[in-house]
Amino acid sequence: MEVRFLGHACFELSDGDTRVLIDPFLTGNPKAAVAADDVNPSAILLTHGHGDHFGDTVEIAKRTGAPVVAIVEIARELAEEGIETHDPNMGGTVKFDWGWVKVVPAWHSSMTPKGTASTPAGLVVSLGETVVYHLGDTCAFTDLQLVGKRTPIDIALVPIGGHYTMDREEAVDAVELIAATTVIPCHYNTFPLIETDVEAFKSDVESSTSSEVVVLEPGESHTT
């Protein structure tokens, strides 16, 4: 399984012919590694409705026919556009022939560019032999320790930029609760407001937890 960082909080998970695209904010993303026209996902997953996550969802879904997994209020908005959707809510799991997606809590807020309010989420994705947890935009909270209890997390995609999410120091506490084998930081250095020292995060995590941090530049991949 390959995890490719496409910039900000956008990742593409690939296994064989399956490509799972999460939070496809590409147009207008100063760190986007690809254009919205260049992705061809099997499915699109959304953590929440903010523009820096919702991004090019409508255009990509309409062009490729890829189904979108999003919390029910956002899924309903997308379905009105004629997009194939799956509409889970907290605790729900959507099964595909390639694996599954489970919706878990995130402490944040959420509204789509069109104004649909909903609860923000984290997403646990099982693809191939690997379980990936995209935290969405969240602060640290103790229930993070429940997420990997039944399905241990191989790779956690963790926001560290501060201001709109937890900062790199709070993220160390979150990482300790999640206990993933590998942590890939995201949601930092896209804009001046969320600039942070990713090497300091890596060093703090690796000296105080059992997780390993893999820092990816936009366009780079990590293979399991």
Phi and psi dihedrals of 101, rounded to 5?
-130, 125
The yes or no reply on residue 31 touching Ni ion (CB under 5 A) is no
The yes or no reply on residue 12 touching Mn ion (CB under 5 A) is no
Q: Which of 50/102 has CB closer to Ni ion? A: 50
Site mask, Mn ion, residues 125-154, x = CB under 5 A?
------------x-----------------
Starting from the edge strand earliest in sequence, which strands make up the sheet with 18-22, in order?
85-86, 68-69, 43-45, 18-22, 10-15, 2-7, 221-223
102 binds, among Mn ion, Ni ion, none (CB under 5 to 8 A by kind): none
Residue of 12, 52, 77, 167 that binds Mn ion (CB under 5 A): 52
Which of 67, 63, 55, 78 lies closest to 6 in space, CA to CA? Answer: 55
8 Å CB contact between 96 and 43: yes
Q: Which of 23/154 has CB closer to Ni ion? A: 23
What is the smallest separation between the CB atom of 73 and Ni ion, expressed in angstroms? 15
The yes or no reply on residue 23 touching Ni ion (CB under 5 A) is no
The yes or no reply on residue 12 touching Ni ion (CB under 5 A) is no
Say if strands 2-7 and 93-96 run parallel, antiparallel, or are unpaired.
Answer: unpaired
Q: Which two tokens stand for residue 176?
A: 């300790």
Which of 38, 37, 1, 36 lies closest to 18 in space, CA to CA? Answer: 1
Site mask, Ni ion, residues 136-155, x = CB under 5 A?
-x------------------
Q: In the complex, which residues of this chain contact Mn ion (CB under 5 A)?
A: 52, 137
